[in-house]
Structure 1
């Protein structure tokens, strides 16, 4: 017969051992680190996508940019996507393997002139993405160029929206949507894709925030929420009549300590801003790459550079609004707590590891990032 002490020791050991599988199960259920590729504006284009008579009559001043985007699509974009594919391959065996590619809007140039040409442009852009064989789901938000021009909105709904839904469901089987505003959850992160061109989006985001349970909230919005660079009037809800909407958006993002991902200005910028009693971060990238071996220029580092002097980065842009843009910076500067900027294009790798989120930003097809920074707040 075992002694009482031996019996109690055996019972204690057995009870402790019985709890080990549960502990192991909880450890196995803990979200694993992951990464994703962040792409800025692409403006996929070809001259054959445009009704030139319509363009001349309605957007004649945009012909030169269409010619440039068409050239970059043919000559530079394939090399850029090859570099991204190589970066994805290098990350597959890392501690935070890549899960998807996220693009921030203006996938296409738009301005085609008809629903038929717009649909063709969209299909060819998606074919290019598919044929690039990145090996990851490709998710994106709506940009202004994606729905600009006669028939563009209809073509977006016909071609791009179903692709959005299909790719989102690969990552999150519960992700169902029939509009550009949608969410998906991956690991310990929720991604809210905000349609900046739908009047109901702010209320939608408020509802998403109210039901949030994920550790991290990423909000993908094509135009900036917080201005940066020379074009300080190009942020969301910039008009005086939209002041209440902007305040509400800022408060939601701050209270949620969100990470905003965007583009629109074709520059790199990272900042943090106080709002709603807390703070949020904003990261903007561009993928309109003019040269694979480009180097960053006009670099601005630190809060001391977040001033109205940013308007001098593009001295020819809207001289009649110079005073207004300086005043915007004077107001925003009171709440912005960190700031980075550079004129460059490429892509970023975002790494999510527990409470820490980091962005490594690449210029062109460079093998090493020109800047790595924390974006979690």
Structure 2
């Protein structure tokens, strides 16, 4: 009897071990970290008056909810039995629109101080459009963000395009603001044969909503040859895309004869701590060009938006889109990759989705 009980216990332990992720990675979408003392309001009013309302909103969100977001993400990571080696943030780290190189640099430093004061593990990021918007913002990134990344990576020559390896997997952080396809062409062959390849970038690459043309290499029709080259490159390497920018939770994929690309998008601007997925569109039957007209049916780019979705539709086998404020946790297993989505009102995920 003792032998039978021992065998059962060992079997149960084996099942539990098999279901244990190899590691997990917290994933943050847009943050728009902001502070009132980091804006030249005269410049904002004169040049970006239409953005005053959103600036005030992001300042409020940063004061009220961002510290709790960071605290909960770190607490979630610390509570896990599997390793949690680092945190990912996918651009629009800050709101930008500061008005000068000095003020943007100050905002970057405050945001990094909040990160360093909370997280007990490396924090890797890419830049978003807001991180490079406003006078001197590009230079401020080189003054503050680039040295931070080089220190974190322990590589004095690191750029905004960089690779982070984890066991049999690799995370490629890709600068969407000045996309360098030549770098990606050089980097991907180095990682052929990897179990999982993740591309971390700000702009989505696969279109999925009324802002379909806000994706990487999607804004103008003349960029289409480059975008098609990028898609083929990702398909051949079965790359999983982690993106942000559109402030939505979304999953969409693309399966062709060359391979499969799947894209997950996350938003971490916390307007509601108890956010739940809302205005959900789900299933490939919902993935139609009419998504491009959901909110701006009279937009001059409507036909291009529709064309982008229509071009991907024949290759899509999965689709999900919802409004949701929160963060995600990427769970990497030997045979699959899942993503859990959390709001700030509880310790349990509100949704879990299979990425691969």
| TM-score, length basis structure 2 | 0.89
Residue in 2 that maps onto 1:273: 254
Name the structure 1 match of 2:36. 47
Question: Which residue is equivalent to 1:56?
Answer: 45
C-alpha distance after superposition, 1:332-367 (max 9, x if no partner): 211212111110011111111223211111234432
8 Å CA contact 1:83–1:365 kept in 2: the answer is no
Verify: 1:116 aligned to 2:75, yes or no. no
Deviation at 1:375, TM superposition (A): 1.3
Q: Any residues of structure 2 matched to 1:17-28 within 5 Å, and which?
A: none
Task: Note the C-alpha offset of 1:184.
Answer: 1.6
Residue by residue over 1:173-214, the C-alpha shift from the partner in whole angstroms, topping out at 9 and shown as x without a partner, is xx5643201112111111111111225x11100111122143
Contact 2:210 2:296 in 1 (8 A): no
Shift of 1:374: 1.8
Does residue 294 of structure 1 match 2:272? no
SS of match in other structure, 2:347? coil
8 Å CA contact 2:275–2:326 kept in 1: the answer is no
Structure 1 equivalent of residue 286 of structure 2:
305
Contact 1:42 1:288 in 2 (8 A): yes
SS across alignment from 2:108: helix
CA-to-aligned-CA distance 1:121-145 (integer Å, 9 cap, x gap): 000000111122x211110111111
Q: Paired residue for 1:218, among 154, 176, 198?
A: 198
1:99 aligns with 2:88: no
Out of 336, 340, 359, the residue aligned to residue 320 of structure 2 is 340
> How far apart, in 2, do the equivalents of 1:319 and 1:289 lie?
28
TM-score (norm 1): 0.84
One of 132, 138, 152 as aligned partner of 1:153? 138
Deviation at 1:284, TM superposition (A): 0.5
Over 3 Å counting, the alpha-carbon distance change for 1:237 and 1:279 in structure 2 is: same
1:117 alignment partner, SS class: helix
Larger gyration radius, structure 1 or structure 2: 1
1:168 positional shift:
2.8
Distance 1:190 1:276, change over 3 A: farther
- Tell me the SS of whatever aligns to 1:334: helix
Deviation at 1:155, TM superposition (A): 0.7
CA, structure 1 residues 276+46, in 2 after alignment: closer, same or farther (shift >3 Å)? Answer: farther
Q: Secondary structure at the match of 1:155?
A: helix
SS in 1 for 2:73: helix
Structure-2 change in CA distance of 1:365 and 1:229 (3 Å): farther
Segment of structure 1 superposing worse, 185-194 or 270-279: 270-279
Q: For the Cα contact (< 8 Å) 1:351–1:359, is it kept in 2?
A: yes
The one of 335, 338, 347 aligned to 1:355:
335
CA RMSD of aligned residues (A): 1.7
Are residue 209 (structure 1) and residue 198 (structure 2) matched? no
SS in 2 for 1:319: coil
Q: Evaluate the alpha carbon distance shift between residue 177 and residue 215 of structure 1 in structure 2; reply closer, same or farther with a 3 A threshold.
A: farther
Instruction: Evaluate the alpha carbon distance shift between residue 218 and residue 318 of structure 1 in structure 2; reply closer, same or farther with a 3 A threshold.
Output: farther
Q: 1:63: Cα distance to partner? A: 0.9
Q: Which residue does 1:19 correspond to in 2?
A: none
Query: Displacement, 1:316?
Result: 4.4
